[in-house]
A and B are shown apart, each in its own frame.
Chain A
Amino acid sequence: MKTVDYFKKYSIYALLLVGVLFIGCTKDDDDPAPENELEVITDVKLIFTNTNDANDVVTARAQDPDGPGVQELAILDTINLGVGKTYTLTYEIFNNLETPGENIGDEIKDEDDEHQFFFSFSNNAFANPTGNGNIDTASDPINYNDNDGTNPVGLSTTWTTSTTQLTNGTFTVRLQHQPGVKTATSGATDGDTDFNLPFVLNIR
């Protein structure tokens, strides 16, 4: 019976010890580390520059001020282009949730083999490219000025407006993120959408 008594005694101490040890554990109250959001875009500005007149610049902005929050996307401007003119389209793309704002356009340039811009617009709004853009059919004409070595990117494109006026037309720009998917034939539904912005287009 002695062993049992010994065991009893021993166990009680063990119990107490275990209890004290565990409860005595200090609370750690670490804060989560700040994360560098790579995916958020809050501001996109389209910049149409007249190829014959560097001072003739048309801009149009879209903004989602709270990024992943519930606030609606706001298309702030309409695109008002002149009749029969040729423009180069470039962008300013930012994440302004961070201070200072982060230039996402630079990231796209760094990862140009994973990105492509696609467009859709009112039929024959432009004399060049003709048609309604390449969102519906990827092989439709768009005048890309850049490439990733093989395939077009679209950080710069050229547009010649139609000679006829257009009111309340549409001009949609879509940026697709296509890691491992981008090929000569990949289209606007391949990969994931980084932005998809439907603007109103006037030509007069």
Chain B
Amino acid sequence: MKQIFLVLLLFAIQQATIAQKADPCNHVLKGTILDIDTKAALPYAVVKVKGTKHITQTDINGRFQIKNLCDEVNTLIISCFGYCDTTCQQFHKNIQRPKIYLKQQVKTLNTVTITAGKDKEQGTASISQQTITKEALTNIPTQTLASAISEVEGVTFTSTGNNVQLPVIHGLYGNRVLTLNNGLKHGFQNWGTDHAPEIDVATAHSITVVKGAAGVRFGPEALGGAIVVEADPLYLNEPLKSRIGTGYQTNGQGYFANYEIGQGLKNWSYHLGANYTRIGDLQTPDYSLTNTGKEEISVNGGLRYHLTNWDFKVYYSYVNQDLALLRSSIANSGTSFVRAINADEPVIIQPFSYDINEPSQLTQHHLGRVEINWRYADDAKLTLRVGSQINQREEYDVRRNADIPIIDLDLVTNDYQLEWKHPDWSGLDGLVGLQVFTQNNDNNPGTQTTPFIPNYNTLRFSGFIIESLKKGKNTFELGLRIDQESNNVRGREVNQNLFRDEYSFTNLTASLGYIRQISESTTFRTNLATAWRTPNMAELFSFGQHGFKTSFGLLRYYANDEGQLRTDRVIALRESNVSPEKGYKWINEWQTQTKTNTYTFTAYANYIENFIYDRPLAVIGTIRGPMPVFIYDQANALFMGADWTWEKRWSQSLTGTFGVSYLWSANIDKNEALINQPPITTSYKLLWKTKGFWKVQSSQFSIKPSYTFKQFQAPRTVRPDELIDGSVVITPDSEIFDFRDAPEGFFLLDIAWRFKVKQFGASFSVQNVFNTRYRNYLNDMRYFADEPGRNFLFTINYMFNAKSATK
């Protein structure tokens, strides 16, 4: 029995018809079958009338007609290759030719599926993007969001250890990449590389990476791109499905368990899921990475109620993370920093443990969302989305009062979004939206240190319009957005004097896109977009020690009359020369799909005015000894690069995917390198699907060698001891430098085998097969320790009631 994931899209006509009293078998049904996303007619779709022998096919225009029906109300079963089967109940005879929309079947290949045909968010269709499906995500349930999507070409991750990983899209990360968590901007303490979004990938249904400036659609922080995380879509008419899974990984002796249950009824649908993960200290080939474990609990649930024209969805998720950071990264004195940075092995190595000690981050994230869709016409829809998020973060550091959090913040985020997908306006297909976004950050008292981040309130009003026009083989896309953001900030100086600041910005962003179907097999898409972003609170106001760094925000330092750097007062934003970031990204994608080959080439240029970055400034003498100091700085920066993927189907069962990413970036004011930019990466993934054997119904084997080059664009190296003994003198105008050389390139090999036996699914994978010793340039911990060594990962899951929805 073919397993079909049934997607039900019911746009049946509900208008009452007057019963005709005549020959009972003279009813006629007419309709048009269209693709839900492209609105293209679907020819040769099979239309059956349930319970009768009537069957027909749509014509070239997607139309069909069935005569001599005995019942006035009928159920249609429509199937079309590549699309989900759709059942239309209560299909009435109608005066007009009703339109029926089919949704493309999400391919359930057991790999990262590049679903080129997946519905793209409106306003981003001309931007290169890729989606990762649940199947691929469940492969490695213990990984972070960032590492899950780093399989996408042009996407890497930057990290502070193995628990805090942030996605990097074309060289940009942090608050230049917006994480859209179920339609809401994930509201968390998003500073630099120190914090990762609190999202449990095991609960995501799909993750889409948008590689261009998607600010018009998603808001100011999508300057570098967006990551769209979607929960279970809550399909209707789905049989009861529940799955339990567990697994074990050798590195860190990690284990996890998850459970999910979901069902779609005629009008109702629900989904519930829970996940628990625990990992202890990870291990490099040579030593244990003391204090690198994590513990994570997540729960999520969704409920949907569907009426003919109305659709209601409620969603809630909760994530609780306790993340340890490498103990050796904290040098509480300058001398030990120098020792730690020059050591081949971390200074502190202890036997394996699950304990999470300082430094660590404890976060809880609640997300609640209500979405109401009113489809008041066939091609028009009104959506209201209201969301509320509470993010509580406590960070513990190695210090005198280690049991008291050094950072203790509550961040409340509220979103109100009203979107109107308007009806066809002489060929224009579009979306108009109004958004209100508020954020309220509060320091909880009792940290016994000057708050690293001030208290603040942000209020933003936004309006956007996105229109697309399809003319033959051309599609044009235009977007405009206006944002008005105001901020109110209250913080403490080091002498505990209060400082306040109030500032607001208004900005217009625009996006222009074009898609051309050059031939049957080749598509070209190009997108030019502007984007802007206000400097975030950490970039402006951070002060003091956080992790191994002592950082000063843009408003926290100034040069006095003698040109010496001072940090004794806070500058008001309007008196400073700090400006918001403005980005201009031009991204082009060519895609050619032949019978066995798919080539995708993406090239881009991104110019960012007032690009904000933090860089090592000096090693400053303090009472405790010399300490490394980082400052935030602004410069105009240019990023250019290309991603290329080549997918080849060698045979029915063997597919290979080659990928390479290249990025060039520079500070063009000073004509010098930027720091922490992704190096060139390349990989080849071979996927072999075997036929069933013995009791195994299906199995697939994958092998993925990859090579990451040394970052040859890294800044020069100035060692901390050279700064301490004064042989190198650094001023704020000196050329950028780093404390350590960029690590050497490295080769990794990953293999995985997945198989299915009846209702059981299992996988076995090995990461870093050769136990390679390496450091990753994009990991802040590269100063102190190697990356984890070989890891064996086993997973097993069992599907209850795995009855397929058959029609």
- Contacts from A to B (Cβ < 8 Å): 1, 4, 7-8, 11, 15, 18-19, 22-23, 25, 27-42, 44, 62, 64, 66-73, 97-99, 177, 179, 189, 192-197
Contact = CB atoms under 8 A, between A and B. Distances in A.
A70 B567 contact: yes
Contact of B398 (A32, A192, A195): A192
A35 B620 contact: no
A179 to B, nearest CB: 7
Contacts of B618: 70
A193 B16 contact: no
Nearest to A3: B307
Contacts of A40: 494
Contacts of A36: 448
B362 interface: no
A66 B400 contact: no
A30 B459 CA distance: 16
Contact of A73 (B335, B448, B617, B622): B622
A38 B400 contact: yes
A29 B567 contact: no
Contact of A33 (B374, B445, B495, B624): B445
B440 A27 contact: yes
A192 B332 contact: yes
B540 to A, nearest CB: 15
A193 B624 CA distance: 6
Contact of A34 (B16, B488, B492, B624): B492
Contact of B566 (A1, A22, A69, A189): A69
A72 B729 CA distance: 13
Across chains A and B, which 7 residue pairs bring their CB atoms closest together, nearest first? A193-B333, A192-B332, A33-B445, A69-B567, A73-B621, A34-B496, A196-B625
A15 B332 contact: no
Contact of B455 (A19, A31, A68): A31
Nearest to B332: A192
Given A7-B310, A68-B450, A192-B333, A15 B372 contact: yes
A99 B491 CA distance: 19
A105 B388 CA distance: 48
Interface in B486-534: 488, 490-492, 494-496, 498
5 contacts: A8-B310, A29-B488, A62-B623, A73-B621, A179-B400
A27 B16 CA distance: 49
B668 interface: no
A37 B624 contact: no
Contacts of A30: 442, 455, 490
Contacts of B543: 68
A60 to B, nearest CB: 14
Interface in B555-592: 557, 565-568
Given A30-B455, A32-B492, A192-B332, A68 B545 contact: yes
Chain A CB within 10 Å, residue with most, of B416, B457, B459, B624: B624
A31 B16 CA distance: 61
Contact of B386 (A19, A27, A37, A197): A19
Given A4-B309, A39-B399, A68-B543, 4 more contacts: A38-B401, A70-B565, A71-B567, A194-B624
A23 B492 contact: no
Contacts, number: 164
B686 to A, nearest CB: 50
Q: Which of A1, A69, A71 has the most CB of B within 10 A?
A: A69
B14 interface: yes
Q: How large is the interface on B (under 10, 10 to 19, 20 to 34, 35 or more residues)?
A: 35 or more
A40 B566 CA distance: 17
A25 B413 CA distance: 12
B336 interface: yes
A66 B557 CA distance: 12
Given A11-B374, A30-B455, A193-B624, A70 B566 contact: yes
B328 interface: no
Contacts of B455: 29-32
Given A22-B416, A28-B440, A30-B490, A35 B445 contact: yes
B227 to A, nearest CB: 26
A68 B544 contact: yes
A22 B440 CA distance: 13
Nearest to B617: A70
Contacts of A22: 386, 388, 414, 416
B436 interface: yes
A134 to B, nearest CB: 16
Nearest to B567: A69
B132 to A, nearest CB: 33
B384 interface: yes
B547 interface: no
Given A98-B495, A193-B332, A39 B310 contact: no
A29 B457 CA distance: 7
Contact of B623 (A42, A179, A192): A42
B622 A64 contact: yes
B308 interface: yes
Contacts of A18: 370, 384, 386
A192 B332 CA distance: 6
B141 interface: no
B357 to A, nearest CB: 12
Given A7-B310, A11-B372, A66 B623 contact: no
A103 B492 CA distance: 22
B91 to A, nearest CB: 17
Interface centre among B310, B336, B495, B622 (most CB of A within 10 A): B622
A179 B399 CA distance: 10
B450 A35 contact: yes
Nearest to A99: B495
B552 interface: yes
A32 B443 contact: yes
B788 interface: no
Nearest to A33: B445
B404 to A, nearest CB: 9
Contact of B454 (A15, A25, A32, A97): A32
Contact of A71 (B384, B436, B457, B566): B566
Contacts of B386: 18-19, 22
A64 B334 CA distance: 14
A99 B438 CA distance: 37
B250 interface: no
Contacts of B333: 192-193, 196
Contacts of B398: 192
Nearest to B443: A32
B14 A35 contact: no
Contacts of A27: 440, 457, 459, 488
B432 interface: no
A142 to B, nearest CB: 19
B620 A4 contact: no
A189 B338 CA distance: 13
Contacts of A67: 494
Nearest to A193: B333
Contacts of A193: 332-336, 624-625
A68 B543 CA distance: 8
A29 B490 contact: yes
A23 B460 CA distance: 12
A10 to B, nearest CB: 10
Interface in B609-655: 617-618, 620-625, 629
Contacts of B336: 189, 192-193
B56 interface: no
Contact of A1 (B14, B448, B451, B622): B14
Interface in B186-245: none
Nearest to A188: B335
Contacts of A195: 623-625
Interface in B399-427: 399-402, 414, 416
A36 B401 CA distance: 12
Contacts of B620: 70-73
A97 B495 contact: yes
A32 B490 contact: yes
Given A32-B455, A70-B557, A11 B494 contact: no
